[in-house]
Structure 1
Amino acid sequence: MFAARLFRRLVLCTAVVCLVPPSLLAALGVSSLFPANAATGVCIDTPLRVTFDAVPTVGTSGRIIVINSGGTVVDTIDLSSATQTRTIGGTVYNYRPVIVAGNTAIITLRTAVLAYGQTYRVTVEGEALRDTSGSAFAGISAGAWSFSTKSAGPAAGTSSLTVAADGTGDFASVQGAFDFVPVNNSKPVLINLRNGTYHEILLLRNRPFVTLRGEDRRQTVITYANNANFNAGNNRAMVGIDSNDFTLERLTLRNSTPIGGSQAEALRTNSTRCFASNCDFSSYQDTLLINGAVYFSNCYIEGDVDFIWGSGVAYFYRCETRALRRGYNVQSRSTAGRYGFIFVECAVTAADGVTNHVLARTDTTSFPNCEVVFLDCVLGPHLTAAGWLVTGTGGTAGLRFLEYRSKNLVGALIDTSQRAVGSRQMTDAEAEFYRVPANVLGGWAPPVSTDTSSPAGLVTASPAGSSTRLVSLAVRSFAGAGEQTLIAGFGLSGTGTKDVLIRGIGPTLAEFGVPGVLADPSLKLQQGAVVLAENDNWGNAPALLAASQSVGAFALAATAKDAALLAGVGATSYSAQINSADTGVALIEVYDAATANRNLGLASLSARTVLAADDVLIAGFVLSGTGNRLVLIRGVGPTLTEFGVGGVLTNPRIEVFGASGKIYENDDWTAEIRSVVARVGAFTLPAGSKDAALLVSLAPGSYSVHVRGPAGVGGVVLVELYDVP
């Protein structure tokens, strides 16, 4: 009988209205709670999470109530209230107490309502959360959800804190860690932010010397839809920094306010000596508001209207600014005698379909003396020929819209003859002045970045007039027989022929403290399947000895069982191979033995090996000459599966070391280097792959590249080096 009645009701449904009463529809089911029921050791700042078996929506009535073990209500969130407020960093903000992300409702309690060493019960009335049809869920009754907090927090004065969304750190929210730092703090405090998405408005005020460091640039995300319609004035920014000497590293700040949602900064700061390195900033209008002094290194900033603006000083080094829609990149409100926004070796790009964009705009009636500088930057085709927009009645005598050697995406100088009146090209002397950050940052010399995980801001061609070239290549790894043969591919470009010295080192590595060396390497030089030359023991041959001394290679004992050969090569690809009856660590070296012949030179190196867990593949190279040289470096693992390779290293990481130690590193590559990849003839990496790549401009010197996987992970990996002319 019931089934018949239900069937009759179902057939009355139309595309617009269904006559099935809500009581007969399936309600939301709770899949999990966080903290779990009866959990212990919970952070006092933890957001509560209810995960359902379907997407929930936030109700317009119903309450969420938190009660301590003594029966006292410590917080009540009444969703019938149109406005909810929360104190953040000492300032009262409007906030959304419940946010939905996927199937999870994230509940943020008011500040400091939970205490250490306490037990709490949570009640959620059914009307507080509903399914997408509007039906309330069953609710969480008193006694069904409880948890106990940690007995105590970090000791006062702790200088290193961990924030983890899963509750395994000192705090579960960034603001919780910010609030722990004492007002007028006088010593460095490092806040390590583990991977996760943190739905927060943040404010750090009068707490200097704080570093917020993400675990992974793209997997550590702070996001919130804060804007001028929701919180007016300075409170509209998602992250507000009013503390000097603040550092932000390796994370993403994403203001999720939709298009047209009013001013919505991802970051606002009024502070000095602030440093942002290897970060992504995303919004639409007014992504960055800089009223202090900030140095940005290797950052990505996207938006549409004046998405970098303010009255402060900002120095952008090797960053990418990306226009999401037609508009203006920069609006500086700097005054006479004060520096503005300086972009050095940056990339100015746009989303597909964006046109008629400009670098910066100003109304000279209000801001006749503002400064915006683009020095050695790569500019996309979305920019107008005028490049700048100057309006108003204040004249251009004090305007400083400056540009120097702007290039297009393939590295050719841009025609600037049609640039807007009021802008001009800098002299060489002016350019050299702006290359030094301390000149515009009040004498402050920012720290050097050691990560280029989004290298789009780098120039895409070596500097004109540079004589620097690759003069030697090397790779060190495990070697043996058969599939354990160590193979290094190398290529030359140019015309004619020249000699190269190739060495296969095993036993002599022991003199440098390397354990487990290959006792008796055998060396072959091949072009395709053709063996061009081979050697077992180098035998102190006069030609090999002279060549080794000429290129500055380390000495080999006359009786050493290392291998070496000298061969004439041309502009093509070769492989050097080491094998042996036994196994051990070996080194392949390739030297340009005729550097005076500049018609032909080393152009690439590649090596593939199987890394054991926690092992490392090391490649080395030497640059010689005058001026910088651009080098593309890749660590390929996942993409090898497209070539039929199994057991690959799933997430390789590359590190570049120079004379001063580690200077660059990368985990996951970014797509902006594709034009360079095609130019050097390398195979394409799929968008979003976990392979690693760097495009770096290097001075003459010796460098090494380390390729490794995550802790405890091994697999097949390929390292590649390419000279980029």
Structure 2
Amino acid sequence: MSAAALFPVNGAVAAQPDTMLQITFNAPPTLGTTGKISVFNATTNVLVDSIDISGAPTKTTNETYGTGGTGFSETDTEVDALAAGVTTLSGSARNVYYTPVTISGNTATIHLHDGKLSPGTRYYVTVDSTVFSGTQGSFSSFSSATAPAWTFTTGPLPTLTVSNTVPANAPSGTTGSVSVTVDASGNGNFNTVQGALDWLMQNCNTGISGAACTSSSVIKTITVDKGAYNELLFVRNMNNLTITGSTSSAADTTVSANNFESYNPGSGGSNTAAGTSNTTEGAVTRRALGGGRSVFLMEGSDLLTLRNFTLQNSHVKQSSYNNQAETLYFNNTKTNGGRFVASHMQFLSAQDTIQTKGWAYFYDDYIAGDVDFLWGNAYAAMFDHSELHTVYDVTAPTTGGYVIQARAYTGYVNTSTSAFIQTPGFVVSNSTLTADSNVPAGSTFLARAGGAEINCTLPAAASAQGSGCDDVAYVDTQIGAHISAGGWLGAAEGASGTELDVSPSTGQTEMAGWREWGSMNSTGGTLSLSGRDTTVGTDTVALTGGTAALDLTNPSVVFAGWNNGAGWTPTP
């Protein structure tokens, strides 16, 4: 490298086996369009991982995503299989496209493919001269294990120790704990959140014979140090797992990625091999690998808790894309499991921010989005003392979207008594609905119908589990001026087809249909509901207070139907 060239400040680092490599230059670098970054075992000279920033390996036959306004470039794109090296998953992995190189200021971060490095091993990195460039000169490359060389040594894996010390906010019934830390600077057990998840899934997943930490009575805690972590996440078959930021401020720690339907099609799930079929999403024809569009995919897990950090899908909507872009997808519909808690969190996206199934409790959270930013197939999903914030939609500036699209279950049949247990769907309690200042007044709706409803009208469905049902309740909530006077998206507000499966004329109750009680304006005064569309919603069924049969501001009531009626009181 010439004296004027960009040069790395940190040429040798210690790192963890899940390494994201970082290289700092003396000026902001520019990422090129061709070239490779390769990692070799320094003892054997064997190639262990390689990143091709041209994106050449990712494209398959008949993909037509274009560039600019009609699609996106494949430069700086790779395919990864998250948790592919976790043997307890029997070959299941989350297969996704991802961005391997990101630049912030003078620092470039390189995300290697998941699970490629070994603990306690020395490596060297080669970087082609075309990978980075900048205004102060050309980057000449790292070319070998000899000078000028970029080398690092991975640290050891943590020792698995089950402690009898139980955190004060652990779920009820917790008897022991396992803890690991994540720190991007290399001072924790892992550099990435996924590295910590992989290690816990390898050692503490459900069904592992003889492991002391597999039981749901043992809490598994990942503490993430302050900073920014750009990565997609995946967890499967993990019970009583908590991921928490290291401080009480959610803004101190951010996990983020740019992911969306046209980029990684589908809600997402694990599979044993990447998908090969194409799907058309907006103006993009894309191979659906299977891992989906969320930042964090959660499968088959119970008592999963997120606390004190920000989870962000950084995708910016464009009219040529399908812009569904969840921060999380919690996928577990078990009636005796499937519990999720998020407290003191920030969830940031522009569309479909939260997709949840099962039994989900959100407390003191800030959730931002636009179209259907709370949705899913839940038995009960409660948003308690939280702020639900509508963001400005750059692709539809005159509309404010929809807060909820419920595709709820009406309940299920008790396996012991054969009695039907009814569940309430989506409940917003003691919360606030706010919006960006440029979201037009009256342009946003409390909910819209999901369509394809089955057996949603009770009591006719009391012998069969209804699904896709429009069960949404707002209780004692402050509602901003961005919400339409009609409230709900019915025919009067421009909806077409069947807007509601349980209307006032067919028996809305505390537990079923679109319902509202105790609504306030943005300053806490009584909100006039004279303009509400009562052909699809009701504000006459009491949901709390002395005249209510059930108090839907009480989490124990909302989740009373869990586990054949045993009930669940979530721990924030």
TM-score between the two structures when normalised by the length of structure 2: 0.70
Distance change (3 Å), C-alpha of 1:335 and 1:117 = closer
Question: Which residue in the other structure is 2:330 paired with?
Answer: 269
Native 8 Å contact 1:227 1:264 kept in 2: yes
CA–CA separation in structure 2 for the residues paired with 1:153 and 1:76: 26
Q: How does 1:359-374 map to 2 (within 5 A)?
A: 359-362=446-449, 366=453, 369-374=469-474
Q: How does 1:84-123 map to 2 (within 5 A)?
A: 84-89=78-83, 90-123=93-126
Cα deviation 1:168-217 (Å, max 9, x = unaligned): 11111101111111321322111111101111100111111110010131
Deviation at 1:153, TM superposition (A): 3.2
Distance change (3 Å), C-alpha of 1:87 and 1:27 = farther
Counterpart secondary structure, 2:449: strand
Query: Whose RCO is larger (CA < 8 A, sep 6+)?
Result: 2
Native 8 Å contact 1:28 1:56 kept in 2: no
Q: How does 1:70-81 map to 2 (within 5 A)?
A: 70-81=44-55
Counterpart secondary structure, 2:311: strand
Of the three residues 299, 303, 313, the one matched with 1:255 is: 313
Question: Which residue in the other structure is 2:425 paired with?
Answer: 340
Question: Which residue in the other structure is 1:206 paired with?
Answer: 237
Cα deviation 1:525-574 (Å, max 9, x = unaligned): xxxxxxxxxxxxxxxxxxxxxxxxxxxxxxxxxxxxxxxxxxxxxxxxxx
Distance change (3 Å), C-alpha of 1:251 and 1:151 = closer
Native 8 Å contact 2:361 2:570 kept in 1: no
CA–CA separation in structure 2 for the residues paired with 1:28 and 1:154: 43
Q: How does 1:385-404 map to 2 (within 5 A)?
A: 385-390=485-490, 391=495, 392-393=497-498, 396=503, 397=506, 400-404=513-517
Counterpart secondary structure, 1:388: coil
Counterpart secondary structure, 1:64: strand
Distance change (3 Å), C-alpha of 1:92 and 1:152 = same
- Report the structure, 1 or 2, having the larger strand content: 1
Native 8 Å contact 1:120 1:146 kept in 2: yes
Deviation at 1:140, TM superposition (A): 2.2
CA–CA separation in structure 2 for the residues paired with 1:336 and 1:317: 21
Of the three residues 315, 318, 321, the one matched with 2:388 is: 321
Task: Look up the equivalent residue of 1:123 and give its one-letter code.
Answer: T
Native 8 Å contact 1:295 1:446 kept in 2: no
CA–CA separation in structure 2 for the residues paired with 1:132 and 1:175: 35
Question: Which residue in the other structure is 1:5 paired with?
Answer: none
Question: Which residue in the other structure is 2:417 paired with?
Answer: none
Native 8 Å contact 1:63 1:124 kept in 2: yes
Of the three residues 220, 228, 246, the one matched with 1:189 is: 220
Distance change (3 Å), C-alpha of 1:32 and 1:112 = same
* 1:414 maps onto 2:475 in alignment: no
Q: How does 1:578-593 map to 2 (within 5 A)?
A: none
Can you give the 5+ residue segments of structure 1 that lack an aligned partner in the other structure? Answer: 1-22, 450-725
Counterpart secondary structure, 2:448: strand
Distance change (3 Å), C-alpha of 1:246 and 1:189 = same
Native 8 Å contact 1:303 1:324 kept in 2: yes
Counterpart secondary structure, 2:551: helix
Question: Which residue in the other structure is 1:375 paired with?
Answer: 475
Deviation at 1:283, TM superposition (A): 0.4
Cα deviation 1:566-605 (Å, max 9, x = unaligned): xxxxxxxxxxxxxxxxxxxxxxxxxxxxxxxxxxxxxxxx
* 1:439 maps onto 2:570 in alignment: no
Native 8 Å contact 1:45 1:173 kept in 2: yes
CA–CA separation in structure 2 for the residues paired with 1:175 and 1:254: 15
Deviation at 1:257, TM superposition (A): 0.5
Cα deviation 1:436-467 (Å, max 9, x = unaligned): 22333234434444xxxxxxxxxxxxxxxxxx
CA–CA separation in structure 2 for the residues paired with 1:371 and 1:285: 20
Deviation at 1:366, TM superposition (A): 4.4
Matched residue count: 421
Question: Which residue in the other structure is 1:166 paired with?
Answer: 185
Deviation at 1:299, TM superposition (A): 0.2
Question: Which residue in the other structure is 1:588 paired with?
Answer: none
Distance change (3 Å), C-alpha of 1:363 and 1:296 = closer
CA–CA separation in structure 2 for the residues paired with 1:229 and 1:257: 11
Q: How does 1:1-150 map to 2 (within 5 A)?
A: 29-33=6-10, 36-37=11-12, 39-40=13-14, 42-68=15-41, 69-82=43-56, 83=58, 84-89=78-83, 90-131=93-134, 137-142=139-144, 143=146, 144-150=149-155
Deviation at 1:100, TM superposition (A): 1.8
Question: Which residue in the other structure is 1:241 paired with?
Answer: 298
Native 8 Å contact 2:364 2:385 kept in 1: yes
Counterpart secondary structure, 2:196: helix
Distance change (3 Å), C-alpha of 1:229 and 1:431 = farther
Deviation at 1:154, TM superposition (A): 2.8
CA–CA separation in structure 1 for the residues paired with 2:234 and 2:311: 13
Native 8 Å contact 2:386 2:432 kept in 1: yes
CA RMSD of aligned residues (A): 2.3
Task: Look up the equivalent residue of 1:294 and give its one-letter code.
Answer: A
Can you give the 5+ residue segments of structure 2 that lack an aligned partner in the other structure? Answer: 59-77, 84-92, 163-176, 207-213, 269-291, 333-337, 393-399, 412-422, 457-468
Counterpart secondary structure, 1:191: strand
Native 8 Å contact 1:46 1:172 kept in 2: yes
CA–CA separation in structure 2 for the residues paired with 1:58 and 1:228: 25
Cα deviation 1:306-334 (Å, max 9, x = unaligned): 11111113111100000012111111011
CA–CA separation in structure 2 for the residues paired with 1:323 and 1:132: 40
Deviation at 1:305, TM superposition (A): 0.7
TM-score between the two structures when normalised by the length of structure 1: 0.55
- Report the structure, 1 or 2, having the larger helix content: 1
Cα deviation 1:65-106 (Å, max 9, x = unaligned): 111121111111122333221111322211121122232211
Question: Which residue in the other structure is 2:438 paired with?
Answer: 353
CA–CA separation in structure 2 for the residues paired with 1:446 and 1:432: 15
Deviation at 1:132, TM superposition (A): 7.3
Question: Which residue in the other structure is 1:493 paired with?
Answer: none
Native 8 Å contact 2:407 2:450 kept in 1: no
Counterpart secondary structure, 1:172: coil
Deviation at 1:54, TM superposition (A): 2.9
